[in-house]
Amino acid sequence: MAEAQNQNHSQEQDIHQLLKVRREKLAALQESGKDPFQIMKYDVTHHSMEIKDNFDKLEGQQASVAGRIMQKRVMGKASFCNVQDLQGNIQSYVARDSIGEESYADFKKYDVGDIVGIKGEVFKTKTGEISIHAAEVVLLSKSLQILPEKFHGLTNTDIRYRQRYVDLIMNQDVKETFVKRSKIISAIRRYLDDQGFMEVETPMLVSNAGGAAARPFETHYNALDEDVKLRISLELYLKRLIVGGMERVYEIGRVFRNEGLDTRHNPEFTLMELYQAYTDYYGMMDLTENMFRYLAQEIQGTTTIVYGEHELDLGRPFERLTMLDAVKKYAGVDFNEIHSDEEAKALADKHEVHYEARHKKGDILNLFFEEFVEDHLIQPTFIMDHPVEISPLTKKKPDNPDYVERFELFMNGWEMCNAYSELNDPIDQRARFKAQEEMLAQGDEEANTTDEDFLNALEIGMPPTGGIGYGIDRLVMILTNSPAIRDVLLFPTMKTLGGKDQ
């Protein structure tokens, strides 16, 4: 134990000395009038991969790149360094006779982690590596910290999430994940724009956080002396726009739910919701299936996606099952034979499914689904026709009003989206809100409250409408084979340390 403590203390002293040396180097540069932080710009003509992909055209041509020194080998009058930029990395050959004695003396003092600009001729070394023969090396920023050791990299997940900027430097696959995330969102926008949808923005601070079953974050608006909430959904404002005559709208934005953290949940996450007038939940199924297939082809170049140990086939028609049929198939229980809340609770007791006293038959059907079915839904599957008790904003099925026109898409055992034939009857909607208020009074902190302005909008008149919400982060996880939601959020929520980190 004592030996380990002494070793740690020695390492801390070594690191402190290295950091001290870096600051001394910066001070010397500043005293000599070479302060890198005074440089305002650098003209970059090419990136690393661009040079490698177009070597036949660029060989012998001048190119200037900029990036971070990741490796450096000083060998007397000539040296090599490896510079990392947005696209990857490229080697540079730096010789004293090419850049001048003073510049070469400065270069030898540069550290791994420093940001430089390099201009020179594109060539290939004797070993066949495409490189830049430097005619100019400019220090653009001095790194005062030490990057993780190259061969071991940055593997501590807590540090990776807290210091994403270091993670992006050290782990190229992480950067590629976030580049791909941007491409996914751009592809979604292209697809919806081509379908005639219009992107809109709605409020994040709201007096009534409705549209989903979740606890909101609450805050106080000083200027108005009012308590407000952060939105948990985009739904109710987007429906107001359908009332106003905007027939196809969507929004991609952050929502906030005061809940726990795990591999699939973060209290702030990216949600996309879209609403289309004059269609129903079948129209939303068709749109979803076509969009997911389009995204897979655009991002992966195939409709067969590998996620973990599973191969997901988005090319074939997605299976469609009612919740009743799914529970019957996987749990062996037919809720069509259950005719009362008491019978449902007795069945739950028999199968050791936990429920609360306030729960009704429809709630218990959903609990059976969560317990016995979800994990089996690996291939894309639409689960349809949910019980009315858990669907306060959805149209009832005309031939069976205990159930509603709603579906959820499941892949890899995860819920990927949630969609309805939207309830546009203001009288029915008021009754549903009242039922939610009663649930709230009974202790359900995720229940909705009555939104009078939304009811007023419905009384103005909303056409038959299909609507849907997608968890963008889970979609990115699937399309990038990422194991946890934190791996697709640049800055995931973290417990505060010393008042600095989130």
| Global confidence as pTM | 0.90
Which DSSP state fits 359? -
Beta strands in 8-88 (DSSP E): 62-75, 78-84
Confidence at 356, pLDDT banded by 50, 70, 90 = very high
Question: How does the average pLDDT of the chain come out, rounded?
Answer: 94
Confidence at 156, pLDDT banded by 50, 70, 90 = confident
Per-residue pLDDT of 38-84, as tens digits, reads 999 999 999 999 999 999 999 999 999 999 999 999 999 999 999 99
Lowest mean pLDDT among 116-125, 212-221, 363-372, 413-422: 212-221
Write the CA distances from 270 to 174, 231, 262, integer angstroms: 19, 12, 16
| Full 3-state SS string of 289-329 | HHHHHHHHHHHHCCCEEEECCEEEECCCCCEEEEHHHHHHH
Specify the 3-state DSSP secondary structure of 355: coil
Confidence at 212, pLDDT banded by 50, 70, 90 = confident
Specify the 3-state DSSP secondary structure of 383: strand
**HSE of 18, CA atoms in CB hemisphere, 13 A:** 14
Sign of CA dihedral 63, 68, 69, 70: negative
200 Cβ partners below 8 Å, 6+ apart? 238, 241, 246, 249, 250, 251
User: What pLDDT does 440 receive?
Assistant: 85
Write the CA distances from 501 to 35, 257, 266, 493, integer angstroms: 30, 20, 16, 9
Confidence at 321, pLDDT banded by 50, 70, 90 = very high
Per-residue pLDDT of 266-318, as tens digits, reads 999 999 999 999 999 999 999 999 999 999 999 999 999 999 999 999 999 99
Greatest alpha-carbon pair distance for the chain in Å reads 91
User: What pLDDT does 213 receive?
Assistant: 82
Distance of CA 20 to the CA centre of its chain: 38
% pLDDT > 90, the chain:
86
